[in-house]
Amino acid sequence: MRFLLSEMRRGRRWLIRNTRRPRVGAVDFGTFARLDPVSRDWGFDRGTPVDRHYIEGFLKAHSGDIRGDILEIADNAYTLRFGGDKVRKSDILQPVEGDAKATVIADLGTGEGVPTGRYDCIICTQTLQFIYQTHKAIASLHKMLRSSGVLLMTVPGISQISREDMERTGDYWRFTTASINRLLTESFGDSVTVQSVGNVYAATAFLQGVAVEELDLDSLAISDPQYQLLLVCRAVRGK
């Protein structure tokens, strides 16, 4: 009996090795058979980075939320692009003085300088990973929203490290749907929607720095929750 089970296992392993496509041992890494990625600049030097494709698709889908008084972190390009004439006031938040475009100086991680109940919508893309005090940062975002105000946020799942940010302030976190949903619900309650986007094809391309313009858009459109490249989040402050 023991011999029979051993033979069955051996036969199963042989079957798996010889029927998988590509066959085990026959994977062709092609351009990726290297220790350096295609681009260390996220793909900006080749076109549109993969994460930007998903971020912009998310903001476009929720452009109806981008109206009234808007706060965006570090820049207001997305506010102007997706809010258009629905925007009454556009503020830019930076944690320290020095950016002439910044209209709000506040530290999300400590809460210092954070205004209360000022905004109808906050756009916070690819920011939370650079703040060690994630719980406090989300509480600060909640605090700045008016009643029924909307937070549109994206955070990385599968991603390279930002070298500049790591050296300057730190690059601390990568997230999953489970972790970011739990963090958001602590401040926003049940009015939270979190989705993952990306798949192994998209994640491989993103890690290598291959640009969207070089990829198949239909393949990028498929989401595989086992390969969460990016998390897109919408949260509404209660009344």
Residue 7 or 37, more confident = 37
> CA-CA distance, 198 to 219, in Å (whole number)?
9
**What confidence score (pLDDT) does residue 13 get?**
65
The answer to whether 195 touches 219, Cβ cutoff 8 Å, is: no
Structural domain containing residue 207? 34-236
Amino acid at 199: N
Residue 230, beta-bridge partner list: 156, 197
| 24 lies in some domain | no
How far apart are the two ends of the chain, measured CA to CA in Å? 68
Residue 81 belongs to some domain of the structure: yes
Nearest CA-CA partner of 134 in 113, 161, 155: 155
The answer to whether position 104 is within a domain reads yes
Residue 47 lies in a domain: yes
What DSSP string runs through 134-186? HHHHHHHHHHHEEEEEEEEEEEESS----HHHHHHT-------HHHHHHHHHH
Q: Is 38 among the domain residues?
A: yes
Average pLDDT value over all residues in the chain: 93
Neighbours of 63 (CB within 10 A): 16
Is residue 202 assigned to a domain? yes
Contact 79, 65 (CB under 8 A): no
Helices (H), ranges, the chain: 2-19, 50-61, 77-83, 134-144, 163-168, 177-188, 200-208, 217-220
pLDDT above 70 for 7: no
pLDDT at 2: 60
- For the chain, give the percent of residues with pLDDT over 70: 92
- Does the residue 138 lie in any domain? yes
In contact, 87 and 80? CB cutoff 8 Å: yes
**Amino acid letter for position 147:** S
Give the span between the Cα atoms of 220 and 31, in whole angstroms: 19
- Please tell me the total count of domains within the chain: 1
Q: Please write the tens of the pLDDT for every residue from 107-126.
A: 999 999 999 999 999 999 99
> Per-residue pLDDT tens for 180-190?
999 999 999 99
103: in domain: yes
Side-chain half-sphere exposure of 114, counting CA atoms within 13 A: 20
CATH number, domain at 116?
3.40.50.150
pLDDT value of position 15: 58
pTM metric for this prediction: 0.90
